[in-house]
Amino acid sequence: MTLHPPTILVLLLLGYAMLGLQLAMVRRRLLEEQALRRWSWGNTLLLLGHLMLLARIVVPLPVSVIAGNGLILLGECAYVAALQQFIDDRPLPRGVRWVCAFCVAAMLPMALFDTPTRVFIASVLTPLPALWGAWLVWRARHRVERSLWPVGAGLAMIALALLARGVHAALHPAYYVDLTLPNTVQSLMLLTSFIALLGSGFGFVLACTERATRSLERLASHDHLTGALNRQPAELLLANALQRARRERTTVAYVLLDLDRFKSVNDRHGHVFGDEVLRRFAHTVAARLRSSDVFSRCGGEEFALVLPDSDAAGALGVLDELRRACRAMGLVTDDGSPFAVTFSAGISLSPCGRVGADALYREADRALYEAKHGGRDRAVLAQPVLQT
């Protein structure tokens, strides 16, 4: 059975209206608002473009042809711009923008040609932005949300359907003299566009929702300034490390770190510089830890390390490396003076996981107190404790 092309256009219009409503409802609630705003513009332009094509019975044919195809191309370009923003956090490359501008400009003389020629030109030019969008998703498939994969697949389907129609129009122009008449290839192209474009739109919204959810989860578990874990999730990971140490009969080292004289940093150089010191220190520490180590911020300028399968010598070795790395961070104050970061540390050990988390924290805190009152810029190892 061959579907009536105007009927499919009406379905497309209803689908774009539904997607536009969903975009309006979720855009302000998600973090990727700029990308969603561009997708919303693309959806609106596609809606208007198909509306203009359908309105050829009441508007002059040249206006319907030029405006309809031009708006559809602009809508696809907006979709691709949204994808570029979402994936790479940057605007479309200049070359792609020039291609989009050329394709839209090529729609202006469309009314001068007969219908089969117009169909062929539109079928060759319209897939170009969609192909770039499909390539963007394919290129970044290993680092983007999986819900974005159907978006790339949908754009590829649209491009292939349009190209297939272009080939058919070139080989059998008689089928495209009157686009209101039943045409299997034309109907399949429109139906594919209906499914793929709407699927891509809902997939993009889902990808934005997925990213927003992950961002909220990270905000809940990580310190927003330094990127280190917050205390509560770090305590759960410490408990897991102690359980594993009991099973494997290994030692867990727990370290409390405190930046030396940090209050004077804020007082002399301001809180903006103080925040930068905390960020740079946290990034320096995190970059030198194993994947099994846990790094968290306890509050203020105090941080904690959980070092599984690490004895006193191992913990002291890690701290020596961190001390050298902090001195080489290259921080400079507003007046151009170099600024060196030092820290004091207290270390406590849990051989075979026998020392519990509370006892580890108390002993590390006492050792840290000794380090700070013993001259700072040093590490003190707590005396072994027997309690669990």
Give the domain CATH number at 239: 3.30.70.270
The answer to the question of residue 179 being in a domain is yes
Residue 386's pLDDT band, with cuts at 50, 70 and 90, is: very low
The answer to the question of residue 224 being in a domain is no
Out of 219, 248, 266, pick the residue that ends a domain.
219
Give how many domains the chain has, as a whole number: 2
Residue-level pLDDT at 42 = 84
Residue-level pLDDT at 83 = 93
The answer to the question of residue 248 being in a domain is yes
Residue-level pLDDT at 50 = 76
Cα 261 to Cα 308: distance, rounded to the nearest angstrom: 29
Residue-level pLDDT at 285 = 93
* Residue of 40 and 120 predicted with greater confidence: 120
Arithmetic mean of pLDDT, 153-179:
87
Residue 316 burial (CB < 10 Å; 0-12/13-18/19+)? middle
Residue-level pLDDT at 387 = 45
* Residue of 355 and 10 predicted with greater confidence: 355
Out of 219, 246, 277, pick the residue that ends a domain.
219
Residue-level pLDDT at 180 = 66
The answer to the question of residue 162 being in a domain is yes
Give yes or no: residues 276 and 333 share one domain: yes
CATH number of the CATH domain containing 165: 1.20.1070
Residue 388's pLDDT band, with cuts at 50, 70 and 90, is: very low
Kindly report, residue by residue over 17-28, the tens digit of the pLDDT: 666 666 665 555
- The average confidence (pLDDT) of the chain is 85
Kindly report, residue by residue over 31-63, the tens digit of the pLDDT: 456 888 888 888 888 888 878 877 777 778 778
Arithmetic mean of pLDDT, 100-126:
88
Which domain covers residue 252, as residue numbers?
A: 231-381
Kindly report, residue by residue over 201-212, the tens digit of the pLDDT: 788 888 887 887
Give yes or no: residues 158 and 238 share one domain: no
Give yes or no: residues 129 and 20 share one domain: yes
Give yes or no: residues 65 and 205 share one domain: yes
Residue 304's pLDDT band, with cuts at 50, 70 and 90, is: very high
The answer to the question of residue 271 being in a domain is yes
Kindly report, residue by residue over 360-371, the tens digit of the pLDDT: 999 999 999 999
Residue-level pLDDT at 307 = 95
Give yes or no: residues 280 and 208 share one domain: no
Arithmetic mean of pLDDT, 243-262:
93
The answer to the question of residue 225 being in a domain is no
Residue-level pLDDT at 8 = 59
329: pLDDT strictly greater than 90: no
Kindly report, residue by residue over 81-95, the tens digit of the pLDDT: 999 999 998 999 999
Give yes or no: residues 120 and 268 share one domain: no
Give yes or no: residues 214 and 294 share one domain: no
Give yes or no: residues 41 and 182 share one domain: yes
Give yes or no: residues 283 and 189 share one domain: no
Residue-level pLDDT at 28 = 54
The answer to the question of residue 367 being in a domain is yes
Give yes or no: residues 65 and 206 share one domain: yes
Arithmetic mean of pLDDT, 380-385:
80
Give yes or no: residues 70 and 192 share one domain: yes
Residue 268's pLDDT band, with cuts at 50, 70 and 90, is: confident
The two tokens of residue 4 are: 């009536």
Kindly report, residue by residue over 56-65, the tens digit of the pLDDT: 777 787 788 8
Kindly report, residue by residue over 124-143, the tens digit of the pLDDT: 998 999 999 999 999 999 88
Give yes or no: residues 322 and 198 share one domain: no
The answer to the question of residue 387 being in a domain is no
Residue-level pLDDT at 378 = 92
